[in-house]
Amino acid sequence: MSAWQLWRDRRGRLSALRIVALALLLFPLAKALIDYDAIAHGARPINDLIHRAGFWALIFLGVSLAITPFRRIARYGNLIDVRRMIGVGSFCYIAAHLVLYVADQKYDFAKVASELTHRLYLVIGGLAWLGLAVLAATSTDGMVRRIGGLRWRRLHQTIYVIALLALIHYFQQTKADVTVPTFAAGLLTWLLAYRLVGWWRDKNELSTTQLLGLAVTVSLLTFASEAIGIGITFGVSPLRVLDSVFDFDAGIRPGWQVLAAGLAAVILDFVRSRWTSRERRSRTVAAE
Ligand code: HEM
């Protein structure tokens, strides 16, 4: 089977999961084609595409990080089959992000090099870009064998640092409304905290109660960081603006969004744990 037949699993069978993942990865491209007229007649078409490519690269980076916790919570081990595809997909969008940026600079490579070393948000984006390139280049089975499983896993754990750099880059270039970057930061904190709690408890899976604790703690941190951010921007005490970040009049704030995502994980875990134990019980009864 050719490695390019991404819709087939390792045994060469057609895989519904892979087809869904592939469709998800191609969605931003299809959306850009549908929006072609609006983009082409907009003020800065290339800049529009730079934003789209960067945004989706970050989304897919987050999705690839969420696969391990999600497959454990949903008791759906097969998901691991699409993690690499989504990670590499994220890199493809980030490669396009850089190519579009170079095109926007009229292929003036001296200027690009100078900007990449002098503008802080580009220095940080550039470091994240290099990190993702290294992870994409070492993502093949051959590379895992060459580097060795343990060293490969350590190298690929740097994905959390890379995601943090990408997030900082996103915050730095978002001039007005930071609601979406704050929500993304909350989700990244949840993903990182999930790994840290698992590592600290020396257990891969977290209990439903631990997941509930995680959801509440991370959402409180998100509320606090939004208040601190507003406080710094407007030069006021974060305590004075704290009530505004809970306020529904200003839309559903990132803290609530993170709480909703965390609680969804709690509910899924609760349902799946009951389901799996019922399945196990009926299998034991059938065997008796
Ligand atoms: C050499 C590396 C990079 C360059 C030159 C670069 C360049 C840029 C530029 C020029 C913008 C638009 C800024 C503006 O319009 O004011 C941008 C936005 C953005 N970049 Fe990058 N970037 C790089 C790496 C990355 C990486 C590694 C990620 C994430 C994985 C990323 C994610 C984003 C996001 C999410 C946005 C904002 C999108 C939005 O507004 O919705 N960038 N980048």
Determine the distance separating the centroid of ligand 1 and the alpha carbon of 169, expressed in angstroms.
7
List the domain boundaries for the chain: 1-173, 178-288
- Give the pLDDT confidence score for residue 73 in this predicted structure: 95
Residue 197 clears pLDDT 80, i.e. is over it: yes
Instruction: Quote the crossing angle between the two packed helices 45-73 and 159-173, to the nearest 10°.
Output: 140
Q: How many other CB atoms sit within 10 Å of the CB of residue 242? A: 16
Sign of CA dihedral 165, 167, 168, 170: positive
| Dist. CA 35 → ligand 1 center (Å) | 20
Q: Give 104 Cα–ligand 1 centroid separation in angstroms.
A: 13
Question: How many angstroms does the Cα of residue 54 sit away from the middle of ligand 1?
Answer: 5
Ligand 1 mutation target, pool 104, 170, 179, 183, most atoms within 8 A of CB: 170
- Which of 1-5, 19-23, 64-68 shows the lowest mean pLDDT across its residues? 1-5
Least reliable range by pLDDT among 122-126, 149-153, 245-249: 245-249
Q: How many CB atoms lie within 10 A of CB 145?
A: 10
- Among 1-15, 179-193, 248-262, top mean pLDDT goes to 179-193
CA 190 – CA 223 distance, rounded (Å): 14
Q: What pLDDT does 218 receive?
A: 98
Provide, rounded to the nearest whole percent, the portion of the chain with pLDDT above 70: 98
As separate numbers, helices (DSSP H) first and strands (DSSP E) second, the chain gives: 13, 0
The letter for the amino acid at 47 is N
- In this structure, the number of other CB atoms found within 10 A of the CB of residue 96 comes to 19
Mutate to test the pocket of ligand 1, among 108, 169, 179, 182 (most ligand atoms within 8 A of CB): 169
